Homo-oligomer: A and B are copies of this chain.
């Protein structure tokens, strides 16, 4: 466009999706770049994070931990942004920050939600393994799942932003790790690159039988991030005293309604009772104050040592965000999905 009068492209929520979000549920708008007021910082988005939780915020009734996105409002999202102008003494132009600028080129912030990223070689990792998704894996697996050496840990979406870290942390703690992923290439990667003991392709038939064979001593920790068929296959295999941190249900996010042929609730409750399962939901926002510093220190070390590998799936162009996001909900990404919006 015109470099003299830069514009801000933003993607708004045009309609509430039924099931999987469609292109017409979004609207790409242009507007002048906003001008920072007193105490404000103008940010330019370099990377936008796309994460499954965003689907929850597109419904009329939000998930409770964050308000739904209003129709016509810019889609929310974590970003790595560069400071363009600053009327805040703590920030200087050119500086990289972790921000919540949403699906747009430019945004204003009062600085309170910004985290400087000056020292990072690969700043987009602050949206993935070194950021919210990695922290989700860390708190959910270590604090709630509490794997012991020799335990069998199962995680689905095994090469995704959260699942890939869950499995690697479980290996670090001495557990046996069985992943579930969509496609032979992802399964191979989980075993060969990430060090999982096994990885099952959820697209092949007979997941229940294959999971049973893969877990001869049962499942001690199931990190729940998908729901659906995987949960059905896991339930009969849980051991006595099994732990089930509940992080999300990507398989349910796009169900337009919850009608089904059978009610699976009694089966779940019976399993929870008979196996003395501890099932615990968590929202990662609750844990930053207490655990984020530990996480950043430990995870940075593990990544530097090569003990945890982080893979990104980088899509170019803000305008690609709606399609990439729908693909994320279908498991089309391979690694942490980020959109490269602009170069530094």
* A321 within 8 A of partner (CB): no
Which residue from chain B places its CB closest to the CB of A227 in the assembled complex? B269
Q: Are B275 and A281 in contact (CB under 8 A)?
A: yes
Is B252's CB under 8 angstroms from A266's CB?
yes
Cβ–Cβ < 8 Å partners of A249 in chain B: 266, 269-270, 273
Pick from B247, B265, B280, B286: contact of A263, CB below 8 A.
B265
Interface residues of A in 31-84 (CB under 8 A from B): 63-65
Work out how many copies of this chain go into the complex.
2
Beta-carbon nearest neighbor of A273 in chain B: B281
Once bound together, how far apart are the Cα atoms of A274 and B272, in whole Å?
19
Q: Which of B248, B263, B279, B286 contacts A258 (CB 8 A)?
A: B263
- Interface readout for A234-258 with B: 1 if CB under 8 Å, 0 if not? 0000001000001111001001001
A100 CB to nearest B CB, Å = 20
* Chain B residue contacts of A268, Cβ below 8 A: 265, 268
- Select one of B63, B240, B275, B277 contacting A274, CB under 8 A: B63
Looking across the interface, which residue of chain B has its beta carbon closest to that of A64? Answer: B274
Nearest-neighbour CB distance to chain B for A207, whole angstroms, equals 17
What distance in Å separates the Cβ of A174 from its nearest Cβ neighbour in chain B?
25
Interface residue? A261 (CB, 8 A): yes
